[in-house]
């Protein structure tokens, strides 16, 4: 079954899927279940942005090959392949394969009584919860490894939770779906350089990330001028 939204854009398709596995007694059995393949324009845009981010990281890593070997495949190294045991290259084939699957995802379910819409809804709820834990653990580094007293640990957890709420708020502000890591990169791009002319101090706004500009607009906050006198500087 294939379902389209009101604009005629592919929404999801259900497939019957057969696979083999061995039971507890070691016997090979064939099982049939349901696979729901779904597509989202917002997910495609997010996947595309994430792919471009990793490509840029991979290109930067290729400038210093000695730093590549000790890295795992989660970051920019995902798009780096090894040739002749020692030469690193950009994996164009993998990049193209990921491009072909932008916006798509598949859910395999053994629950025969559930409709495709219910499977998608259950997955989306679970995905949002898992993503929240991932953001807290990795992006916000909630584990209090540098704190030892109960008061400092509690303070660290409160700050991380408030940061998480702020991150979710910024996601709602943006007109498109953007990952928490991408938002953090955008916030880090908001920097200024101090300089003086005839004893008067000024701030020069450095190059700002596109997502950072979208955040200023979404929050209805005026961006600082390119050059601002220190006494008039505020953000």
* pLDDT number for residue 74: 66
CB 102 within 8 A of CB 47: yes
Confidence of residue 72 (pLDDT cuts 50, 70, 90): low
Structure tokens at 193: 């350089």
For residue range 184-228, what is the model confidence (pLDDT) as tens digits?
Answer: 888 888 899 999 988 889 898 988 888 888 888 888 888 888 888
Residue 231 has pLDDT above 90, yes or no: no
CB 115 within 8 A of CB 32: no
CA distance 184 to 215: 11
For 86-139, what is each residue's pLDDT tens digit? 688 888 999 999 999 998 888 888 877 788 888 887 777 777 777 787 778 777
Antiparallel, parallel or unpaired: β 28-39 and 10-22: antiparallel
Is the pTM higher than 0.75?
no
- Are the beta carbons of 43 and 101 closer than 8 angstroms? no
Residue position matching structure tokens 């580094």: 141
């Amino acid at each position: 079954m294939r379902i389209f939204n009101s604009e005629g854009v592919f929404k999801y398709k259900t497939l019957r899927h057969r696979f083999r596995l061995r039971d507890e007694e070691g016997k090979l059995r064939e099982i049939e279940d349901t696979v729901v393949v779904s597509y989202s324009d917002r997910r495609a845009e997010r996947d595309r942005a994430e792919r471009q981010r990793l490509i840029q990281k991979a290109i930067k890593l290729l400038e210093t090959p000695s730093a590549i070997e000790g890295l795992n495949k989660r970051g920019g190294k995902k798009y780096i392949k090894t040739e002749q045991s020692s030469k690193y290259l950009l994996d164009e084939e993998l990049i193209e394969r990921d491009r072909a699957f932008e916006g798509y995802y598949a859910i395999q379910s053994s629950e025969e009584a559930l409709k495709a819409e219910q499977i998608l809804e259950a997955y989306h709820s679970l995905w949002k919860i898992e993503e929240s834990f991932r953001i807290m653990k990795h992006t916000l580094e909630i584990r209090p490894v540098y704190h030892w007293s109960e008061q400092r640990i509690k303070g660290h957890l409160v700050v991380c939770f408030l940061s998480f709420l702020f991150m979710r708020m910024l996601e709602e502000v943006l007109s498109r779906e953007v990952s928490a890591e991408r938002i953090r990169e955008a916030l880090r791009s908001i920097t200024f350089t101090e300089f003086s002319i005839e004893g008067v101090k000024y701030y020069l706004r450095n190059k700002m990330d596109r997502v950072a500009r979208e955040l200023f607009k979404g929050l209805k906050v005026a961006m600082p001028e390119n050059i601002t006198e220190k006494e008039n500087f505020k953000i």
